[in-house]
């Protein structure tokens, strides 16, 4: 489909999530592409439907009612291209995150080299690593075969050997894989992705080609010991993920057909957009995107020389929610709650939410619990993702979050927040950004849809990003400092475009704001006290341009890492105070 603005092609973008399915309409308005409207409906990937197409049609139906424009015909099939009477749409693209976690076995030569690359590759989509094999594995071949059979993998990812390097060792590792696949029923055999030494691809075909549901090849993820290149393999893995979903869930093949093959895993589409934005911004700081929804927590970071994409189904807020307790304690979740909630009530809520992911908080207690769970899930996801960030990224301390500009946040947990301040506080607590950054909330969850749309129309994502479809919360200033509670740590002066000024003294342990409306710009002069560091160096101040947003300029003086009081009463009172400061309840 052409991307010329002369043609003015309308695009319908579908996102099928674990809890909800959204239909988003993009079209040309006054010469530029704009996000026009969206329709939402409960997802139907699970029982009783187990067919995503029903939820897709329902979401499009709701969108039709908003647009006053027919997109489906009487048989509920997509009308494409646009018709002279105004019905239909020129193109459709889609993203998919619904579906069970893909059970994955990793095979690599060296545990700390190729197997680590395979792990990073697998974590770029909705997978759970259920078994690993490497050259130092001391199990006997029959034990390895039994381990693979018990794992019941949907997918096997094989990496190892630099280009032109080891070959015999890889072949030896693949013997248990081939024998295990041979003993499986044909319809239960896994798909296989080989991303190792390219010179032995023919041997790989001979060893396991006839024993896999499908065998795919991608360029070596580790062409040399010092080089890692995951992007080509991620692209191949994204397509394999969709093919696996076609076998698992009805309706995915129809959606793929409607999109003309422009159907991507939601996480991969998000990562693609972050890579693009990292090139657009091209600053010394990185760019960060976080997405917390029912199916997974997605952390995507773009830097000048590398991008990372991490998908954590174990931290999703849907049917996997109770599994969160394998990684954290109930008490660790409750520390974020503004209300006194018992562990038993929290546990009951988590089981109920896992059964009904689309349920919304009906009481203040439910809201406090859901926000506490979201904080801990995103905090754990961020801590896990940081290990894959490049070592040379700009930051204030290597043990803290690197410097990012901007931070983009989306997903049900954030788009459902009733007030911008509620979403911002969730991000400040879980990500714990440092220095000076702009925070943008993707309230319509458009980022992955823009990522998949780019393959159809490379102009649309740029113009929609610049159109105000995303909510700018404002600029966050978070000094890194250690001080006694109540001690002054920073003085700030905000100079507006009309020459007027606002001043503020920040004390350790507090949150403060200065007003700066969306669309406005100003100059912020900071004076750092007690060795506070906002990116200029310990105790050094400076003047920087800042942009406004829903909350203006927000100063987070609570220190990094964030250390909550051990006393429950005092902690909950502080959380209520912070909520109130940012316009929450």
pLDDT in tens, the chain (585 residues): 344 444 568 999 999 999 899 999 999 988 889 999 999 999 999 888 889 999 999 999 999 999 999 999 999 999 988 899 889 999 999 999 999 999 999 998 888 888 999 999 999 999 999 999 988 888 998 999 999 999 999 999 998 766 666 667 777 888 888 889 888 988 889 999 999 887 788 888 887 877 888 889 999 888 887 888 899 999 999 999 999 999 999 999 999 999 999 999 999 999 999 998 888 877 789 999 999 999 999 999 999 888 999 999 999 998 889 999 999 999 999 999 999 999 999 999 999 999 888 788 889 999 999 999 999 999 999 999 999 999 889 999 999 999 999 999 998 878 665 688 889 999 999 999 999 999 999 988 999 999 999 888 888 998 998 888 899 999 999 999 999 999 999 999 999 999 999 999 999 999 999 999 988 999 999 999 999 999 999 999 999 999 999 999 999 999 999 989 999 999 999 999 999 999 866
Helix (H) or strand (E) holding 36: strand 32-42
Query: Could you tell me the two tokens for 547?
Result: 């942009």
Q: What is the pTM of this model?
A: 0.92
Judged on CB neighbours under 10 Å (0-12, 13-18, 19+), 418 is exposed
Can you tell me which residue has the tokens 């050997």?
161
pLDDT of the residue at 8: 63
Helix (H) or strand (E) holding 409: strand 404-410
Dist CA 479 CA 160 (whole Å): 43
Q: Is 457 helix (H, G, I), strand (E, B) or coil?
A: coil
pLDDT of residue 334: 96
Ordered structural domains, the chain, with CATH: 11-96 (3.30.420.40), 102-248 (3.40.50.2300), 267-581 (no CATH)
Alpha carbon distances (Å) from 171 to 18, 96, 178, 414: 39, 35, 10, 47
The pLDDT, as a whole number, for residue 584 is 66
Give CA–CA dist 288/158, Å, rounded: 29
What pLDDT, on a 0 to 100 scale, did the predictor assign at position 61? 96
In the prediction, which pLDDT does 237 show? 96
Residue 536 DSSP code: S
Distance CA 407, CA 433 (A): 9
C-alpha distances (whole Å) from 339 to each of 329, 430, 575 are 18, 18, 9
Both tokens of 459, joined, read 């102009």
């Amino acid at each position: 489909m052409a991307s010329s603005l002369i043609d003015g092609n309308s695009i319908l973008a579908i996102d099928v999530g674990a809890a909800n399915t959204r239909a988003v309409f993009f079209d040309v308005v006054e010469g530029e592409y704009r996000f026009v409207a969206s329709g939402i409906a409960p997802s139907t990937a699970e029982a009783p439907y187990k067919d995503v197409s029903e939820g897709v049609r329902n979401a499009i139906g709701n969108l039709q009612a908003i647009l006053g424009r027919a997109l489906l015909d009487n048989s509920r099939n997509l009308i494409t291209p646009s018709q002279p009477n105004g019905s239909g749409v020129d193109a459709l693209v889609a993203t998919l995150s619904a579906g069970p976690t893909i059970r994955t076995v990793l095979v690599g030569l060296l545990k700390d080299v190729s197997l680590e690359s395979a792990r990073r590759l697998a974590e770029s989509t909705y997978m759970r690593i259920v078994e690993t094999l490497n050259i130092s594995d001391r199990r006997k071949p029959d034990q390895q075969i039994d381990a693979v059979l018990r794992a019941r993998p949907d997918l096997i990812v094989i990496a190892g050997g630099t280009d032109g390097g080891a070959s015999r060792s890889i072949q030896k590792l693949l013997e248990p894989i081939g024998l295990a696949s041979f003993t499986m029923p044909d319809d239960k055999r896994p798909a296989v992705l080989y991303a190792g030494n390219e010179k032995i691809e023919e041997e790989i075909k001979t060893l396991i080609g006839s024993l896999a549901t499908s065998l795919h090849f991608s360029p070596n993820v580790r062409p040399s010991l010092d080089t890692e290149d995951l992007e080509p393999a991620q692209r191949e893995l994204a397509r394999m993920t969709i093919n696996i979903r076609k076998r698992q869930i009805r309706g995915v093949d129809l959606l793929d057909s409607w999109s003309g093959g422009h159907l991507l895993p939601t996480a991969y589409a998000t990562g693609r957009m972050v890579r693009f934005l990292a090139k657009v911004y091209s600053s010394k700081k990185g760019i960060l995107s976080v997405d917390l929804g029912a199916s997974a927590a997605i952390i995507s970071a773009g830097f000048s020389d590398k991008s990372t994409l991490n998908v954590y189904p174990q931290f999703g807020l849907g049917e996997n929610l109770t599994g969160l307790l394998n990684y954290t304690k109930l008490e660790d979740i409750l520390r974020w709650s503004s209300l006194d909630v018992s562990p038993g009530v929290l546990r009951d809520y988590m089981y109920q939410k896992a059964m009904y992911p689309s349920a919304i908080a009906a009481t203040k207690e439910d809201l406090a619990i859901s926000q506490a769970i979201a904080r801990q899930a995103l905090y754990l996801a961020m801590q896990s993702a940081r290990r894959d960030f490049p070592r040379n990224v700009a930051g204030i301390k290597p043990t803290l979050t690197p410097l990012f500009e901007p931070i983009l946040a989306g997903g049900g947990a954030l788009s459902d927040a009733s007030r911008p301040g509620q979403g911002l506080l969730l991000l400040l607590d879980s990500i714990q950004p440092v220095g000076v950054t702009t925070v943008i909330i993707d309230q319509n969850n458009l980022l992955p849809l823009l990522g998949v749309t780019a393959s159809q129309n490379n102009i649309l994502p740029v113009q929609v990003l610049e159109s105000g479809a995303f909510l700018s919360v404002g600029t966050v200033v978070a000094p890194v400092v250690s001080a006694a509670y109540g001690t002054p740590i920073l003085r700030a002066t905000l100079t507006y475009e009309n020459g007027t000024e606002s001043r503020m003294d920040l004390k350790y342990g507090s949150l403060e704001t200065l007003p700066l409306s969306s669309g406005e710009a100003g100059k912020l002069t900071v004076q750092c006290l007690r060795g506070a560091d906002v990116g200029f160096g310990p105790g050094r101040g400076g003047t920087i341009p800042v942009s406004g947003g829903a909350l203006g300029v927000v100063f987070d003086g609570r220190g990094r890492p964030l250390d909550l009081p051990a006393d429950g009463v005092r902690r909950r009172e502080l959380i209520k105070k912070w909520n109130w400061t940012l316009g929450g309840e």
